[in-house]
Amino acid sequence: MLPGTQQELGRPHAGWRRRLHEIVFESETPAGRAFDVVLVAAILVSVAVVIADSVPDWHQRHGTAFTAAEWCFTLMFTVEYIARLVSVERPWRYVRSFFGIVDLLSVLPTYLAFFLPETHALIDVRILRLLRVFRIFKLTDYLVEYQMLADALAASRRKILVFLSAVLMVVLILGTLLYVVEGPEHGFRDIPTSIYWAITTITTVGFGDITPKTDLGRLSPR
């Protein structure tokens, strides 16, 4: 059973807390479905605001609007977080659950940045709000498929280990070879740097910040 499921959290038997639980935790009811739709829309828009606010030109021109929108979303998600806490019998279990932690991290940076300006760098943690969409998608319904994938990976773990070991050896050999051939004067100042070049080359990322300069280095397997 996943942490944070309704059985673990405890559903109130009656009263306004039971009704609130049906709205914020159960998507089978009309009110629950409507709540989920509004929540998904708010999450996506809030993430879009975070992304747009990271663009320097947009931040300079629309910073005030972005800040106002951010506080609106933060207050909205704070109310939702409190509603989830009061609508379950075991709120502490919700706090410690995966989605409980994600929900808290989606609102906490804004408050921290307000009271402790030196923590403003943490504001980008708000992007974790996007993880909350998975709650709406009800991925727990696909646990059987996830288990099948996990079993397949477990059954192939020796093959995967052999493959990774072979790749690691190739990376070490190529990195060391280029360190010897090129040397520090061509950017290969040490073996770890040369291994970094080998990794970016094998994975076809190829950042281009380090490239072989000698004819022998250019003939190396790539």
Q: Among candidates 111, 102, 110, which has minimal Cα distance to 129?
A: 102
Determine, yes or no, domain membership for 55: yes
Contact 66, 72 (CB under 8 A): no
Determine, yes or no, domain membership for 149: no
List, for residues 80-138, the tens digit of each pLDDT value.
999 999 988 888 888 988 888 888 888 888 888 888 777 666 666 777 777 777 766 65
Determine, yes or no, domain membership for 103: yes
Same domain, yes or no: 62 and 133: yes
Determine, yes or no, domain membership for 151: no
Same domain, yes or no: 31 and 63: yes
CATH of residue 52's domain is: 1.20.120.350
List, for residues 122-166, the tens digit of each pLDDT value.
666 777 777 777 766 655 566 677 778 888 989 999 999 999 999
The parent domain of residue 168 ranges over 156-218
Determine, yes or no, domain membership for 45: yes
Same domain, yes or no: 27 and 97: yes
Determine, yes or no, domain membership for 13: yes
Determine, yes or no, domain membership for 127: yes
Say if pTM beats, i.e. exceeds, 0.75. no
Contact 129, 47 (CB under 8 A): yes
